[in-house]
Protein backbone atom coordinates (compact mmCIF):
# COMPACT_ATOMS: atom_id res chain seq x y z
CA UNK A 1 0.00 0.00 0.00
CA UNK A 2 2.60 2.46 -1.18
CA UNK A 3 0.16 5.36 -1.52
CA UNK A 4 -1.00 5.61 2.06
CA UNK A 5 1.39 8.36 3.11
CA UNK A 6 0.51 11.94 2.22
CA UNK A 7 2.59 15.08 2.15
CA UNK A 8 6.30 15.29 1.69
CA UNK A 9 7.32 13.63 4.92
CA UNK A 10 6.78 10.11 6.14
CA UNK A 11 6.61 8.95 9.70
CA UNK A 12 9.69 7.10 10.83
CA UNK A 13 8.82 3.67 12.27
CA UNK A 14 8.93 3.78 16.03
CA UNK A 15 10.48 1.33 18.40
CA UNK A 16 7.24 -0.63 18.72
CA UNK A 17 6.87 -1.08 14.95
CA UNK A 18 10.50 -2.06 14.55
CA UNK A 19 10.18 -4.67 17.27
CA UNK A 20 7.16 -6.18 15.52
CA UNK A 21 9.12 -6.25 12.27
CA UNK A 22 12.05 -7.91 14.02
CA UNK A 23 9.73 -10.50 15.56
CA UNK A 24 8.23 -11.22 12.13
CA UNK A 25 11.64 -11.58 10.48
CA UNK A 26 12.81 -13.84 13.29
CA UNK A 27 9.74 -16.04 12.82
CA UNK A 28 10.41 -16.34 9.08
CA UNK A 29 14.05 -17.15 9.78
CA UNK A 30 12.90 -19.94 12.10
CA UNK A 31 10.50 -21.34 9.49
CA UNK A 32 7.29 -19.94 10.97
CA UNK A 33 5.22 -18.54 8.11
CA UNK A 34 2.13 -17.87 10.22
CA UNK A 35 3.31 -14.43 11.32
CA UNK A 36 1.88 -11.31 9.67
CA UNK A 37 2.46 -7.61 10.27
CA UNK A 38 -0.59 -5.38 10.85
CA UNK A 39 -1.70 -3.92 7.53
CA UNK A 40 -3.41 -0.89 9.04
CA UNK A 41 -0.21 1.12 9.33
CA UNK A 42 0.42 4.14 7.13
CA UNK A 43 3.46 5.46 5.37
CA UNK A 44 6.69 3.51 5.34
CA UNK A 45 5.55 0.98 7.90
CA UNK A 46 2.46 0.24 5.83
CA UNK A 47 4.63 -0.40 2.78
CA UNK A 48 6.92 -2.66 4.81
CA UNK A 49 3.93 -4.61 6.13
CA UNK A 50 2.54 -5.09 2.62
CA UNK A 51 5.85 -6.37 1.24
CA UNK A 52 6.54 -8.54 4.29
CA UNK A 53 3.10 -10.14 4.31
CA UNK A 54 3.26 -10.79 0.55
CA UNK A 55 6.67 -12.41 0.96
CA UNK A 56 5.45 -14.64 3.78
CA UNK A 57 2.38 -15.63 1.75
CA UNK A 58 4.55 -16.72 -1.17
CA UNK A 59 6.97 -18.59 1.10
CA UNK A 60 4.05 -20.34 2.75
CA UNK A 61 2.58 -21.43 -0.60
CA UNK A 62 6.03 -22.45 -1.86
CA UNK A 63 6.83 -24.63 1.16
CA UNK A 64 3.34 -26.16 1.15
CA UNK A 65 3.57 -27.08 -2.53
CA UNK A 66 7.11 -28.47 -2.31
CA UNK A 67 6.12 -30.50 0.76
CA UNK A 68 3.04 -31.82 -1.05
CA UNK A 69 4.98 -32.91 -4.13
CA UNK A 70 7.73 -34.49 -2.00
CA UNK A 71 5.13 -36.38 0.04
CA UNK A 72 3.19 -37.56 -3.01
CA UNK A 73 6.25 -38.72 -4.93
CA UNK A 74 8.57 -39.81 -2.14
CA UNK A 75 6.18 -41.25 0.44
CA UNK A 76 2.84 -42.05 -1.19
CA UNK A 77 4.26 -43.14 -4.55
CA UNK A 78 1.82 -40.87 -6.38
CA UNK A 79 3.64 -39.75 -9.51
CA UNK A 80 2.90 -36.84 -11.82
CA UNK A 81 2.54 -34.13 -9.17
CA UNK A 82 3.80 -30.61 -9.86
CA UNK A 83 4.23 -27.66 -7.49
CA UNK A 84 1.94 -24.73 -8.30
CA UNK A 85 3.21 -21.44 -6.84
CA UNK A 86 1.55 -18.46 -8.59
CA UNK A 87 3.40 -15.18 -8.69
CA UNK A 88 6.86 -16.36 -7.65
CA UNK A 89 9.92 -15.06 -9.45
CA UNK A 90 13.67 -15.12 -9.23
CA UNK A 91 15.18 -17.76 -6.97
CA UNK A 92 11.77 -18.96 -5.81
CA UNK A 93 10.70 -19.57 -9.40
CA UNK A 94 13.99 -21.39 -10.05
CA UNK A 95 13.47 -23.59 -6.99
CA UNK A 96 9.91 -24.36 -8.04
CA UNK A 97 11.09 -25.26 -11.55
CA UNK A 98 13.84 -27.48 -10.12
CA UNK A 99 11.40 -29.36 -7.90
CA UNK A 100 8.99 -29.83 -10.81
CA UNK A 101 11.80 -30.97 -13.12
CA UNK A 102 12.92 -33.52 -10.53
CA UNK A 103 9.39 -34.81 -9.99
CA UNK A 104 8.75 -34.89 -13.74
CA UNK A 105 11.95 -36.79 -14.50
CA UNK A 106 11.31 -39.30 -11.74
CA UNK A 107 7.75 -39.81 -12.94
CA UNK A 108 8.87 -40.47 -16.51
CA UNK A 109 11.67 -42.80 -15.45
CA UNK A 110 9.63 -44.87 -12.99
CA UNK A 111 6.70 -45.20 -15.39
CA UNK A 112 9.00 -46.34 -18.21
CA UNK A 113 10.67 -48.91 -15.95
CA UNK A 114 7.27 -50.12 -14.74
CA UNK A 115 6.02 -50.43 -18.32
CA UNK A 116 8.97 -52.61 -19.32
CA UNK A 117 8.75 -54.73 -16.15
CA UNK A 118 5.04 -55.29 -16.76
CA UNK A 119 5.74 -56.28 -20.37
CA UNK A 120 8.37 -58.82 -19.23
CA UNK A 121 5.94 -60.27 -16.68
CA UNK A 122 3.44 -60.77 -19.54
CA UNK A 123 6.06 -62.45 -21.73
CA UNK A 124 6.68 -59.46 -24.00
CA UNK A 125 10.46 -59.20 -24.36
CA UNK A 126 10.38 -56.63 -27.16
CA UNK A 127 10.37 -53.53 -24.96
CA UNK A 128 13.28 -51.70 -23.36
CA UNK A 129 13.75 -48.68 -21.12
CA UNK A 130 14.65 -45.74 -23.36
CA UNK A 131 14.04 -42.76 -21.06
CA UNK A 132 17.15 -40.59 -20.42
CA UNK A 133 18.69 -41.32 -17.02
CA UNK A 134 21.78 -40.73 -14.90
CA UNK A 135 23.39 -42.13 -11.78
CA UNK A 136 21.66 -45.02 -10.03
CA UNK A 137 18.59 -44.71 -12.26
CA UNK A 138 20.90 -45.23 -15.25
CA UNK A 139 22.36 -48.32 -13.57
CA UNK A 140 18.86 -49.66 -13.00
CA UNK A 141 17.97 -48.91 -16.63
CA UNK A 142 21.04 -50.77 -17.91
CA UNK A 143 20.40 -53.72 -15.59
CA UNK A 144 16.78 -54.09 -16.70
CA UNK A 145 17.69 -53.74 -20.39
CA UNK A 146 20.45 -56.34 -20.03
CA UNK A 147 17.98 -58.65 -18.30
CA UNK A 148 15.52 -58.22 -21.17
CA UNK A 149 18.28 -58.96 -23.71
CA UNK A 150 19.29 -62.13 -21.88
CA UNK A 151 15.71 -63.31 -21.45
CA UNK A 152 15.04 -62.66 -25.11
CA UNK A 153 18.16 -64.58 -26.16
CA UNK A 154 17.27 -67.41 -23.79
CA UNK A 155 13.71 -67.66 -25.10
CA UNK A 156 14.87 -67.52 -28.73
CA UNK A 157 17.49 -70.21 -28.23
CA UNK A 158 15.25 -72.59 -26.29
CA UNK A 159 12.51 -72.14 -28.90
CA UNK A 160 15.00 -72.81 -31.70
CA UNK A 161 16.35 -76.01 -30.12
CA UNK A 162 12.85 -77.24 -29.29
CA UNK A 163 11.72 -76.56 -32.86
CA UNK A 164 14.75 -78.21 -34.44
CA UNK A 165 14.61 -81.33 -32.26
CA UNK A 166 10.89 -81.68 -31.62
CA UNK A 167 9.36 -80.45 -34.89
CA UNK A 168 11.97 -80.54 -37.64
CA UNK A 169 13.73 -83.69 -36.42
CA UNK A 170 17.13 -82.01 -36.62
CA UNK A 171 19.28 -83.41 -33.86
CA UNK A 172 22.48 -82.04 -32.33
CA UNK A 173 21.29 -78.49 -31.70
CA UNK A 174 22.40 -76.66 -28.55
CA UNK A 175 21.16 -73.40 -27.05
CA UNK A 176 23.79 -70.65 -27.01
CA UNK A 177 23.04 -67.89 -24.50
CA UNK A 178 26.19 -65.85 -23.75
CA UNK A 179 26.46 -64.13 -20.39
CA UNK A 180 23.64 -65.87 -18.54
CA UNK A 181 24.15 -66.96 -14.95
CA UNK A 182 22.28 -68.50 -12.04
CA UNK A 183 18.89 -70.01 -12.81
CA UNK A 184 19.09 -68.99 -16.47
CA UNK A 185 22.41 -70.81 -16.81
CA UNK A 186 20.89 -73.87 -15.13
CA UNK A 187 17.87 -73.79 -17.45
CA UNK A 188 20.09 -73.44 -20.51
CA UNK A 189 22.23 -76.37 -19.34
CA UNK A 190 19.11 -78.46 -18.71
CA UNK A 191 17.74 -77.78 -22.19
CA UNK A 192 21.10 -78.60 -23.76
CA UNK A 193 21.43 -81.75 -21.64
CA UNK A 194 17.97 -82.89 -22.72
CA UNK A 195 18.69 -82.17 -26.38
CA UNK A 196 22.08 -83.89 -26.15
CA UNK A 197 20.65 -87.00 -24.52
CA UNK A 198 17.83 -87.22 -27.03
CA UNK A 199 20.28 -86.81 -29.90
CA UNK A 200 22.55 -89.58 -28.59
CA UNK A 201 19.64 -91.94 -27.92
CA UNK A 202 17.87 -91.44 -31.25
CA UNK A 203 21.10 -91.71 -33.24
CA UNK A 204 22.08 -94.91 -31.42
CA UNK A 205 18.64 -96.43 -32.03
CA UNK A 206 18.81 -95.36 -35.68
CA UNK A 207 22.30 -96.84 -36.04
CA UNK A 208 21.20 -100.25 -34.71
CA UNK A 209 17.97 -100.18 -36.73
CA UNK A 210 19.93 -99.42 -39.90
CA UNK A 211 22.37 -102.24 -39.14
CA UNK A 212 19.49 -104.70 -38.66
CA UNK A 213 17.91 -103.54 -41.92
CA UNK A 214 21.22 -104.29 -43.62
CA UNK A 215 21.41 -107.77 -42.07
CA UNK A 216 23.96 -106.88 -39.40
CA UNK A 217 22.68 -108.32 -36.13
CA UNK A 218 25.88 -107.75 -34.18
CA UNK A 219 25.04 -104.27 -32.95
CA UNK A 220 23.02 -103.30 -29.90
CA UNK A 221 21.74 -100.09 -28.39
CA UNK A 222 24.29 -99.09 -25.76
CA UNK A 223 23.33 -95.51 -24.97
CA UNK A 224 22.13 -94.73 -21.45
CA UNK A 225 18.36 -94.42 -21.30
CA UNK A 226 15.41 -94.22 -18.93
CA UNK A 227 11.63 -94.50 -19.09
CA UNK A 228 10.11 -95.19 -22.50
CA UNK A 229 13.46 -94.80 -24.22
CA UNK A 230 14.79 -97.56 -21.95
CA UNK A 231 11.81 -99.76 -22.88
CA UNK A 232 12.54 -99.12 -26.56
CA UNK A 233 16.21 -99.99 -25.95
Q: What is the pLDDT of residues 59-105, one digit of tens each?
A: 999 999 999 999 999 899 999 999 999 988 899 999 999 999 999 99
8 A C-beta contact, residue 165 and residue 195: yes
Q: Which of 13, 62, 69, 8 is nearest to 37 (CA)?
A: 13
One digit per residue, pLDDT tens: the chain, 233 residues? Answer: 444 444 445 556 678 888 989 999 999 999 999 989 887 767 888 889 999 999 999 999 999 999 999 999 989 999 999 999 998 889 999 999 999 999 999 999 999 999 999 999 999 999 999 999 999 999 999 999 999 999 999 999 999 999 998 889 899 999 998 888 899 899 999 999 999 988 888 888 888 889 889 998 888 888 887 787 777 77
8 A C-beta contact, residue 144 and residue 129: yes
Residues 6+ apart with CB under 8 A from 172: 195, 199
Q: Which of 56, 76, 68 is nearest to 96 (CA)?
A: 68
8 A C-beta contact, residue 35 and residue 27: yes
pLDDT in tens, 169-188: 899 999 998 888 899 899 99
As a whole number of angstroms, the distance between CA 153 and CA 232 comes to 35
Amino acid sequence: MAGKATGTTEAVPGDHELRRLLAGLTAVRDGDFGTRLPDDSTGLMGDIATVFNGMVDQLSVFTSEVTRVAREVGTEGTLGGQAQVPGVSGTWADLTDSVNAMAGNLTTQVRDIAQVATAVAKGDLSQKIDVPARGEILQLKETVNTMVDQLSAFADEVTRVAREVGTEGRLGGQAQVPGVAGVWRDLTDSVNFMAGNLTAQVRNVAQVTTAVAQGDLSQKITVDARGEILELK
